[in-house]
Every structure is written in C-alpha cells, then in structure tokens.
Amino acid sequence: MSDRSQLIETGKPFIFDAQRDAEFERLVKRYPTRESMILPSLWLVQEQEGWISAEAMAYIADRIGTFPSMVYEAATFYTMYNLQPKGKYHICVCRTLSCYLLGKQEIVDYLKQELGIKPGEVSADGQFSLEEVECLGHCGSAPVVQVNGEFYEDMNVAKLKELLATLK
Amino acid sequence: MAEKVKLFVNGQEVEVEAGKNLIDAFGAIGIEIPHLCYHPALGADGNCRMCLVGIEDGRPPLVPACKTKVAEGMKVQLDAEKIKKIQRDIMELELINHPIDCPICDQAGECKLQDYYMKYDGQPSRMTVKPVLKAKKMDFGCGVVHDQERCVLCARCVRFTRLITKTGELGIVNRTDAARVNIFPGRPLNNRYALNVVDLCPVGAMTSRDFRFKQRAWFLTKSPSICHGCSKGCNIFIDHNREKYKDDVIYRYRPRLNEKVNGYFMCDEGRMTYKLENDNRLGTPRVNGREAGFDEAIESVRRAVSEAKKAVVLISPNASLEQMFAAQQFAAAINAPVSGYSDGYVKAGDGDDFLIKDDKSANRASFALLGIDDSKTAFEAALNGADLLLSFDNDLSRSLSGDALTQLLADTKLIMVASSQTDCVAKAAVAVPVASYSEDAGSLVNCDGRLQSYEVAVVKNQPAKSLIEVLHLCGGEIKSNQEARAGLQAAVAVLKDIDLEQIPAEGIALTESEVAHVAA
C-alpha cells in the first residue's frame, strides 16, 4: 500500500453543483445517521470534479456535520477515490486473478507504450491517466478495462486500439 | 460495596467486582491481561487483539477481554499455549515496522510495547525486508509531537478527541502497513486537553514538546499531589528528579485517577503550572529592598506587627485549609481583621463544563468554611485606618492595578510572605520566602466541596519554611499541620467527624451523608 495521506489543496473553496446538491439531499434521507453520507458524498465529489481535494473533504464534513478527520480517513482508506487530478479519460485495467491469467499485462504494456505513461500517472496533455486496479467484478469476461467507469470486456490489444482511436 | 461475582482464572477461583470487563475486574485483583487499545475512559475498541482470552463455555475459541463482562462461574483461560502464541504473534506484528529507537524515545521505561515485548515476546526479529518509513516529529499543535513510525494504531488518541473533547482533530488514514495517525491538513489539535493524548498513548508515538528529551522516565520520582491551577483540584503526579549535584526539579505533571474529581485527565494549562513551582521563586528574604537573612526578615516582621496601630491579614485562596486556619488564629492573636480578597485569581468565563474552572485558585471554598470574607468591600473596610498589611502568599498585584496598589501602599506597609517573585513582592517592605504546595502538605476543598489532601512531593536542597512555620516564628500559636488540624476539628462543625490526617484517596465530599459515612 502506498501513502495516500498527502492531500492536494486547491486553494479554492469547494461546493456541490445544483445536481449533486439535490442528490445529496435525496440520499441523506436514506440513512439512519448523517455519518453514513461520507462515502456517497465522496462519490458525488468525484463525479463532479474527477478527484477529491482537501477543500472538498472539509466541505463534506461541514455539510454532514462530522469531523474532517473522519472524511479524511474514509477517503484515504478506499483506493477508488482519486485524491489527485486524473486525465480526461481515466483508464483502469484489472490486475486480479482472472484478468491476470488472461493477459492483462499485454494490455497494460500496450497502454504504457501508446500513452507514454506508467500506471498511476497522467499524460502530459491531461487527456489520459492509467491505473491498475483490483477485481472489478467482471471475471467472466476477463480481461476487463474501465474507462471513466464504463466497462470494456474481453479486451485484447486489437480492441484496445479501436477503443483508443475513439477517445483521441 | 460493589456486588461481587466468583469465577475461575486458569482453574483457580477468584472473586471480582461484578459488571466490569475482564481487564478491569482482574486488574483490580492484580491479574494482568495485556492490552494496548483498551482504556477505561475510552471504552473497548477491540482493535489490538492483545487481550484475547479463552472462555470455556463453548464460545468461539478466543474472545477479547476488553469486550467481555465478568459473569458468575465463568471459566477464563489466560495462559493456554494458544493464547501465548497469539500474544507473541501480535507483538511481532506490532514490531515489524517499529523503529525500536528506545534509547532516544521519551516513552522508554513506561512503554507498553517495551514491557509486553519483554513479558510476552522476547524473540529476535525475523524481518529481512526494509521497514515502512513514515513521518517523524510531526507538529500536531498544542505542544503534541507525533512520530508515526512508533505508533501501534490503537486509536486511543483518535478516540480521545472524538469521545472526550469532541473536537475530532485526529484520524487514522490509509490502510494496511501505510496506516497512520494524522491531522486533517491545516487543522491541528485545538483543544485545552490535548496533552492527555501523550499520557494515553501506550507507546512513544505521542510526546509532549515540553517534556521531550528532558528526563528518562525511570529517573523521575512520581509523587501524588493536587493541581493548584484552578479550583477543580485535579489529582496529579508530580514527576520530579534531583540530578547529581543539582536541586530537586519538577519535570512534568500527569493526571492521577480520581473518579470523583478529574477521572483520568487534566487540562493543559494545569499541566504547565509545574513551571511556576520551578521558576521565578522567591529565594532570599528581602528587607526594605535589600537582601537579608531569614532571621532578620522574621525579626522585622515581628517588629512591624508590634509597632503597627492596625494590621490586616490577607490570605491566599491557594493556601491550604491548615495554613488558612493558622493565619486566622495568628490574626486573631494580633487583633487584625482577616481578608481573602483575591478577585484577580478569578478569570470569568474561562471555565468549561469539563475540568477547567473560572477560579484559578485551589482552595477558595475553605474561605467559606472558616468564615473568611474575600469580597473587595470587606477588604477595603479592613484596610480603613490600617498601617500594616500582612499578605500570606496572596499576590495582590493580580487583583489590583499597579496604580491602585501603589496608592494602597502609600500609607500602608506591606509584608509579603510569598513563594514566588511577583510585582507585589518587589513592592513589599519585607518579603519572606515560604514553601509552595509541591514542598508542603495540606488539605484543600475544591469547587464541588470535596476535601482532598496532598503530601510533600519535592524536597529542595535548601527547603523554604512552610507557611505555618513562618506564622509560628512571627508569633502564631500553631506550630504544625497536626496542631492546625486539631484546631480545625474543634472550630469547624463540618470537619468535626473527619480525621484530617487520613483523608481517603478519593477525598471526602463535605456533605452530611458522606461525612457520616467516612466517620462510621
């Protein structure tokens, strides 16, 4: 595990847009305690901004009425929360067993070469970011790639080439 | 008395208090169950797994003792090979990434990790990979310095800020071997009890900036006492040491458990009042602005008293019950009115609903007990026509502005019997040094009417005389605390049935029921 505790401060206050604000108010009624809103709120921030800044965490804590340290704990615990800006297209390649056996490494190697970045990095033009992730739950159609949350199944280099062409 | 239950530990029958968990119940009868995360004030968290014990009743193999209540007839197994192995394994796990920098760690000597390693582990490390490196000497604010590498992630500090102070500054971030305690960026510890996390920390991860690298824990003498920082009267340990060729010096105060007063904690301001006991003390007697011998100073006090047309005795609200009584008797003998005027010791609005009180003196409640008036009007009335003011460690410069004090001293001679250097001492015609509370014994009544006593903690190379001795040398009847206590019992109705020589550790609430209970 790597250290994810170094948060990035944007220097600008964060606030939910109207859509996320409404979604927050809708979700908060679901739970017995307001603390339960920490994880959904972090998702809302990530949906809105693509990543979660220190200011956004403080905003969530304020909004929920809890300690910023609680939000900080949750955000750094779950690796699917991005704590730094990602590319316009965030590509996740599954590296867990089924995908591993069915050739995820070829996919990663191809992407590394094509995009010029290693997993965990963002391309210089800000278009792409690449990440190797744990099981995405699509073992039946491994290997699997996710682009901004969309699944692409039974992947191979040829299909990936087509996919990248549509993204560029 | 609390209800008892009988149960078996390692096959042996024992009787313990009912309703408690295994750690507390067995701890009270001297059977230790190792634990890192459990603390009576913070509750059972069950994260360290060090307290796993076996219970022979068909439960899952092992249960955490911190979360298990004692029950009649329970059969508890503490020394099974399986349990010993788990304890060994947990110690090994905790030590994988521990820096083992005990030689430079302040906690060494009072460190649970050290103690438990020696007692439950004792094996050499099997680690051949590099340890995970984390941040060291992080400034967490409020004088707390954190070392993430020493941390065992028991979350006591985190729980303290969430459950006790309700400020929640700390959290455990990341997970697995990257997990660490941290503050949210830009939001350091910001509460008046923050230094308690240093005491709570079972290892050396939380250290006090004030105490860091000052003393090794095993050199310190830990003397029980009462904090004089405010009228709460928190129970403390005075940790002091006389280094070779030096004087006895206090290095820190730590809270001492008293469920009836402060629980396990104390405030940061009170904790730092130890500095007043070390520094800026009045050492040499002074007569008319020049240094003088002790006998000469006493002689000038006696002369001033006998020459005075009207003297007024001013008593400090920090004086012990015995000292107040002796001063009151002394005042009666020289026909002087007594005042306890000390408005400057009260910081209105400073207190909170936990331990900090507005009144920054330790024993104002005793004024009421002895009928000493501490109002300003009474003080001014007493001063009317007086030409001598005898102040027994009452720092008037706290209560009066500089001008008002100068004006008062224009036609009144001031004699200060004082423990520390103050503006008031500088202006006094005669200044006589006395022992402060850390060097003296006595009794106090706190803001809730609880009578507590403290003993001599620090013995200086050249000890100052106690206030009662000075009073006696100046012509007072009473020679010692014992005589004062006898006098108090005769004079104060509520103390009649109390043995002031043997006040119980938790103190006595000066209410009829409890006094009767203790007397019986």
Percent helix, strand, coil in chain A, to 5, is 45, 10, 40
Q: What's residue B2's pLDDT? A: 78
Which residues of chain A from 97 to 116 reach within 8 Å of chain B, CB to CB? none
Answer yes or no: do B450 and B434 share one domain.
yes
Answer yes or no: do A156 and A95 share one domain.
yes
Q: What's residue B512's pLDDT? A: 62
Percent helix, strand, coil in chain B, to 5, is 30, 20, 45
- Of B30, B53, B79, which marks where a domain is finished? B79
CATH of the domain at B26: 3.10.20.740
Is A110 inside a domain boundary? Answer: yes
Answer yes or no: do B358 and B480 share one domain.
yes
Residues forming a β-bridge with B290: B287
Torsion, Cα of A84, A88, A90, A91 (10° steps)? -150
Is B86 inside a domain boundary? Answer: no
- Name every chain A residue with its beta carbon within 8 A of the beta carbon of B178: 1-5
- Name every chain A residue with its beta carbon within 8 A of the beta carbon of B184: 54, 57-58, 67-69, 72
* pLDDT tens, residue by residue, A14-25: 999 999 999 999
**Closest to B207 measured CA to CA, from B136, B264, B117:** B136
Cβ-defined contact of A69 to B180 (cutoff 8 Å):
no
A67 contact B CB<8A: yes
- Name every chain B residue with its beta carbon within 8 A of the beta carbon of A9: 185-186
The Cα of B170 is separated from the nearest Cα of chain A by a number of Å equal to 6
The pair phi, psi for residue B420, each rounded to 5°, is -135, 160
Which residues of chain A from 43 to 62 reach within 8 Å of chain B, CB to CB? 54, 57-58
- Of B79, B110, B130, which marks where a domain is finished? B79
Answer yes or no: do A94 and A155 share one domain.
yes
* pLDDT tens, residue by residue, B266-315: 999 999 999 999 999 999 999 998 999 999 999 999 999 999 999 999 99
Q: What's residue A109's pLDDT? A: 94
Answer yes or no: do B24 and B173 share one domain.
no
Residues forming a β-bridge with B369: none
Residues forming a β-bridge with B454: B442
Contact B163, B187 (CB under 8 A): no
List the single residue in B with minimal CA-CA distance to A9: B185
| C-beta atoms surrounding B232 within 10 Å | 24
Q: What's residue A2's pLDDT? A: 83
CATH of the domain at B222: 3.30.200.210
The Cα of B354 is separated from the nearest Cα of chain A by a number of Å equal to 21
Is A7 inside a domain boundary? Answer: no
Answer yes or no: do A156 and A105 share one domain.
yes
Is B150 inside a domain boundary? Answer: yes
The Cα of B140 is separated from the nearest Cα of chain A by a number of Å equal to 13
In a 3-state reduction of DSSP, which class is residue A129? strand
Answer yes or no: do B477 and B509 share one domain.
yes
- Name every chain B residue with its beta carbon within 8 A of the beta carbon of A68: 168, 184, 187
Structure tokens at B328: 């009151």
Is A9 inside a domain boundary? Answer: no
Q: What's residue B56's pLDDT? A: 86
Task: Enumerate residues 6+ apart whose C-beta is below 8 A from B277.
Answer: B250, B436, B437, B438, B458
Where residue B137 falls among pLDDT bands split at 50, 70, 90? very high
Q: Which of B134, B171, B175 sits opposite A72 (nearest CB)?
A: B171
Torsion, Cα of A95, A97, A101, A105 (10° steps)? 10
B168 contact A CB<8A: yes
Length of chain B: 520
Which residues of chain B from 77 to 96 reach within 8 Å of chain A, CB to CB? none
CATH of the domain at B296: 3.40.50.740
* pLDDT tens, residue by residue, B441-462: 999 999 999 999 999 999 999 9
- Residue A24's domain comprises 18-77
CATH of the domain at A40: 1.10.10.1590
B415-424 mean pLDDT: 93
Q: What's residue B517's pLDDT? A: 61
Look at chain B and report how many structural domains it folds into: 4
CATH of the domain at A117: 3.40.30.10
- Name every chain A residue with its beta carbon within 8 A of the beta carbon of B176: 1
Cβ-defined contact of B177 to A77 (cutoff 8 Å):
no
Is A98 inside a domain boundary? Answer: yes
Answer yes or no: do B364 and B342 share one domain.
yes
Q: Is the pLDDT confidence value at B520 over 80?
A: no
A75-104 mean pLDDT: 93
| C-beta atoms surrounding B246 within 10 Å | 9
Is A150 inside a domain boundary? Answer: yes
Q: Is the pLDDT confidence value at B159 over 60?
A: yes
When the pLDDT of each residue in chain B is averaged and rounded to a whole number, the result is 93
Residues forming a β-bridge with B69: B21
Is B30 inside a domain boundary? Answer: yes
Is A1 inside a domain boundary? Answer: no
Answer yes or no: do A108 and A157 share one domain.
yes
B26-43 mean pLDDT: 95
Q: What's residue B353's pLDDT? A: 92
A3 contact B CB<8A: yes
Where residue A167 falls among pLDDT bands split at 50, 70, 90? confident
* pLDDT tens, residue by residue, A127-154: 999 999 999 999 999 899 999 889 999 9
B214-232 mean pLDDT: 96
Look at chain A and report how many structural domains it folds into: 2
Answer yes or no: do A123 and A149 share one domain.
yes
Answer yes or no: do B442 and B501 share one domain.
yes
- Of B247, B278, B309, which marks where a domain is finished? B278
Lowest mean pLDDT among A68-82, B45-59, B108-122: B45-59
Lowest mean pLDDT among B113-117, B165-169, B490-494: B490-494
B183 contact A CB<8A: yes
Q: What's residue B179's pLDDT? A: 95
Answer yes or no: do B187 and B233 share one domain.
no
- Residue B171's domain comprises 95-208
Answer yes or no: do A107 and A153 share one domain.
yes
Q: Which of B134, B178, B187 sits opposite A68 (nearest CB)?
A: B187
Where residue B187 falls among pLDDT bands split at 50, 70, 90? very high
Q: What's residue B335's pLDDT? A: 93
List the single residue in B with minimal CA-CA distance to A78: B174
* Calpha distance A45→A59 (Å, rounded): 10
- Of A29, A54, A77, which marks where a domain is finished? A77
A84 contact B CB<8A: no
Task: Enumerate residues 6+ apart whose C-beta is below 8 A from B449.
Answer: B365, B509, B510, B511
Is B85 inside a domain boundary? Answer: no
A66 contact B CB<8A: yes
List the single residue in B with minimal CA-CA distance to A54: B185
What ipTM goes with this model? 0.88
List the single residue in B with minimal CA-CA distance to A53: B185
Answer yes or no: do A160 and A129 share one domain.
yes
B176 contact A CB<8A: yes
Q: Is the pLDDT confidence value at B1 over 70?
A: no
List the single residue in A with minimal CA-CA distance to B172: A73
Is B113 inside a domain boundary? Answer: yes
* pLDDT tens, residue by residue, B309-354: 999 999 999 999 999 999 999 999 999 999 999 999 999 999 999 9
- Burial of residue B29 (CB within 10 Å: 0-12, 13-18, 19+) is exposed
**Closest to B140 measured CA to CA, from B199, B181, B90:** B181
Answer yes or no: do A65 and A97 share one domain.
no
Is A5 inside a domain boundary? Answer: no
Instruction: Find the helix packing angle between A38-49 and A54-64, rounded to 10°.
Output: 140
Q: Is the pLDDT confidence value at B212 over 80?
A: yes
The pTM of the full predicted model, rounded to 2 decimals, is: 0.92
Is B90 inside a domain boundary? Answer: no
Cβ-defined contact of B180 to A66 (cutoff 8 Å):
no
Answer yes or no: do B449 and B324 share one domain.
yes
Q: What's residue B59's pLDDT? A: 72
Answer yes or no: do A43 and A68 share one domain.
yes
- Name every chain B residue with its beta carbon within 8 A of the beta carbon of A77: 173-175
CA A118 vs CA A112, A113, B33, B270: distances in Å: 6, 9, 50, 55
Q: What's residue B139's pLDDT? A: 96
The Cα of A15 is separated from the nearest Cα of chain B by a number of Å equal to 18
Answer yes or no: do B141 and B221 share one domain.
no
β-strands B311-315, B338-339: how paired?
parallel
The Cα of B138 is separated from the nearest Cα of chain A by a number of Å equal to 14
Answer yes or no: do B265 and B311 share one domain.
no
B136-153 mean pLDDT: 96
A72 contact B CB<8A: yes
Q: Is the pLDDT confidence value at B201 over 90?
A: yes
* pLDDT tens, residue by residue, B464-515: 999 999 999 999 999 999 999 999 999 998 998 889 999 999 999 987 666 6
Answer yes or no: do B174 and B228 share one domain.
no
Order of all β-strands in the sheet with B75-77 = B12-17, B4-9, B75-77, B52-55, B62-64
B162 contact A CB<8A: yes
Is B257 inside a domain boundary? Answer: yes
Contact B175, B203 (CB under 8 A): no
B182 contact A CB<8A: yes
Answer yes or no: do B441 and B501 share one domain.
yes
Is A149 inside a domain boundary? Answer: yes
